[in-house]
Amino acid sequence: MASDDTGITVAHVQGIVDRSPFLSWVGLKVVALDEDSIEATATWRPEWVANPVVSQTQGGIHAALIDFAANFALIRRMGGPVLTIDLVIDYHRVARKGDLTVRGKVVKFGRTVASSHAEVFDAEGRLIASGRGAFLSTGTSEKTAGAKPAGGTGA
């Protein structure tokens, strides 16, 4: 999707994902980005399997996808990822071998706390898991944690 006045594009967000060892390992590919929503796909990997008898995907993968999408739905408002305050996950059905799609949407953007919702779908479009998160909306996680940008002096 096209950039809005923030300059944050799908390619920009994909760059953040690609710099993260964990998000890269999960195989996330950002496919859509709007002012208050995001959609990404995650490429299935054998390490996701929790129960090899039924090829069940481990629930922590779903939780990570929900945390990512709920958080990154805020990226155009915040300029970067933010700190997660609380995360609640509901599991709706067993996910088996296959890629997953996750969609996140901002529910409420407050001065200190923002809330977002996210859903994970299997390759057939069935709802696998959903969740809600509360996120610190006073600054990006890098700013809040006092990190300096890679290669920069951190102004």
What domain range includes position 104?
A: 10-140
Amino acid at 30: V
Q: What is the value of pTM for the model shown?
A: 0.87
Nearest to 69 by CA among 52, 81, 54, 53: 81
Please tell me the predicted confidence (pLDDT) of residue 9. Answer: 95
Amino acid at 90: D
Residue 151 lies in a domain: no
- Domain harbouring 103, CATH code: 3.10.129.10
CA–CA dist 149, 16 (Å, integer): 12
**Angle ∠(68,148,8) on CA atoms, nearest 5:** 45
pLDDT digits (tens, 9 = 90+) for 103-124: 999 999 999 999 999 999 999 9
> How far apart, in Å, are the Cα atoms of 80 and each of 47, 123, 124?
28, 29, 31
Residue 33 lies in a domain: yes
Total residue length of the chain:
155
Residue 145 lies in a domain: no
Please tell me the predicted confidence (pLDDT) of residue 7. Answer: 84
Please tell me the predicted confidence (pLDDT) of residue 70. Answer: 98
pLDDT digits (tens, 9 = 90+) for 15-61: 999 999 999 999 999 999 999 999 999 999 999 999 889 889 999 99
Q: What's the structural domain count of the chain?
A: 1
- Arithmetic mean of pLDDT over the chain: 89
CA–CA dist 52, 20 (Å, integer): 28
pLDDT band at 147 (very low <50, low <70, confident <90, very high): low
Residue 46 lies in a domain: yes
Please tell me the predicted confidence (pLDDT) of residue 118. Answer: 98
139, 126 Cβ separation under 8 angstroms: no
Secondary structure class of 151 (helix, strand, coil): coil
Residue 152 lies in a domain: no
Please tell me the predicted confidence (pLDDT) of residue 140. Answer: 74
Residue 50 lies in a domain: yes
Task: Supply 32's token pair.
Answer: 């859509």
Amino acid at 68: F
